[in-house]
Amino acid sequence: MRHSKATEMLFEQVIDQTPKEIKQEVEWSYEIADKIYDALHRKGLSQKEFARLAGTSEAAVSKWIGGGHNFTLATLAKISAVLGESMIQIA
C-alpha cells in the first residue's frame, strides 16, 4: 500500500509531538515482547503451553508477545518465573 506525501508528513508530525515518556514506554513494551517471544522459541514452548504454565489464557500470551502491552511488575515477575529468566534488567 502506498501512502501519499501528506499522510507521511502527518505521521511524522504525530511522532514528533508524541511525548518522550510515551515513546519510551512503547519501546520498552516491544523489547519485552521480543524477549518473551525469543525465550519461548529457545525453550521450544508454544503459546498454548506457556499459557498453561503461566496460568493464563492463550489470548493473554498473544497480547504479551504482540507488543504494545502495558505490563505490570506482577505480570513480568510471573513471566520471568515461568521462563526462568528475567524479562527486565534493573541496573
Return the domain boundaries, the chain: 21-83
Instruction: Fold for 21-83, please state it.
Output: 434 Repressor (Amino-terminal Domain) (1.10.260)
CA distance 25 to 15: 14
- pTM for the full model? 0.81
Task: Convert the pLDDT of each residue in 24-75 to its tens digit.
Answer: 999 999 999 999 999 999 999 999 999 999 999 999 999 999 988 999 999 9
**51 contacts 61 by C-beta, under 8 angstroms:** yes
In sign, the C-alpha dihedral spanning 71, 76, 63, 68 is: positive
